[in-house]
Amino acid sequence: MQVERGIRALRDRLDGARAAGRSIGFVPTMGAFHRGHLEIMRIARSRDEVVVVSIFVNPLQFGPSEDYQSYPRSFESDVSGARSEGVDVLFAPEPAEMYPHGAIDTRVDPGRLATVAEGAYRPGHFAGVATVCAKLFNIVQPHRVYLGQKDAQQVAVIRQMVQDLNLPLEVISCPTVREQDGLAMSSRNLSLSSSEREAAAVIPRALFAARAAAAAGERSCETVRTLARSLIEQQPLVRLQYLEIVDPVTFEALECIEGQSLATVAAYAGSTRLIDNVAVGTVPRPER
Ligand code: AMP
């Protein structure tokens, strides 16, 4: 596995593979790998001939009071994790390589999708994500991009960008990998104390309760939401920010569960903000 820090060197390396007609799969990440990341790399490895993983904690997608500085970083163990999954190239640019003048003025604006659900609580976040992904996609020029369904709205933002801007690549969404008690794996779980970690399991429990209620025939989002929210509200170490039943494409809040919907949540355990989602309603389409 090659580790590349520079855009020029990465492009030189990938030009040869592309010219030889080899398919390139790309997994963008912010590092601090867990099994969720490694599973995505495995899926990419099974489908594409060249697998490129990026590690870049993108300042553009963090708000001024968010955790950019304290975001977990574990480069050495990430290198061994990626190597063990058979990744070909690990692209790990410094911020100055991606933003040579300190910042950039150009933004990809995901429109309304960036303002609802998660977007309502993180202004500018999805524009930051879409912008860095546009840069990374232009740098790597992959045939396929692999993302995690754990960040379902991020997948929707990227799918919309790819479609609206005619980017010549396919987006693959990979299933959420969970701990034994259901907590979605996240680099931010590293920041939880042991009591917060234990308490955080209420988040997937609430989502699974929402899914079970819908599977039992409940159609009222209000009823399903109230049930799921009340579970979280009973856990004193977890503070609910939002729990909504939304359309899986537009992320607009729904009143009635008809086709496939998503139960989506953000909650704080201590000062760590965690997000998760599950499909509710009709059986979800295969994720890939
Ligand atoms: P991050 O490093 O958190 O930006 O995540 C990089 C990629 O891994 C994103 O596409 C995430 O959606 C995905 N991801 C993060 N956690 C999980 C998980 N528990 N299961 C599956 N994919 C995940």
Report how far ligand 1's centroid is from the alpha carbon of 36 (Å).
Answer: 6
Predicted local confidence at residue 123, as pLDDT: 97
pLDDT category of residue 228 using cuts at 50, 70 and 90: very high
Percent of the chain with pLDDT over 70: 98
Instruction: Report which protein residue has its CA nearest ligand 1's atom 13.
Output: 148
Q: What is the spatial distance between Cα 186 and Cα 196, in angstroms, rounded to a whole number?
A: 14
Residues near ligand 1 (Cβ within 6 A): 29-30, 36-37, 40, 147-148, 150-151, 174, 176-177, 184-187
**Sheet with 238-246, side-by-side order of all strands:** 238-246, 260-269, 272-281
| For range 56-73, the mean pLDDT | 94
| C-alpha 263 to ligand 1 mean position (Å) | 18
Nearest protein Cα to ligand 1, atom 6? 29
Give 55-58 contacts, CB < 8 A, sequence gap 24+.
Answer: 55/29, 55/30, 55/31, 55/90, 55/91, 55/92, 56/28, 56/29, 56/30, 56/31, 56/91, 56/92, 56/93, 56/98, 56/132, 56/136, 57/30, 57/31, 58/30, 58/98, 58/128, 58/129, 58/132
- Tell me which of 35, 132, 147 to substitute to probe ligand 1's pocket, judged by most ligand atoms within 8 Å of the beta carbon: 147
Prediction pTM value: 0.96
Atom 12 of ligand 1 has which residue's CA nearest to it?
A: 148
Strand 170-174 to 144-148 pairing: parallel
Tens digit of pLDDT for each residue in 85-115?
999 999 999 999 999 998 899 999 999 999 9
176 Cα–ligand 1 center, Å: 8
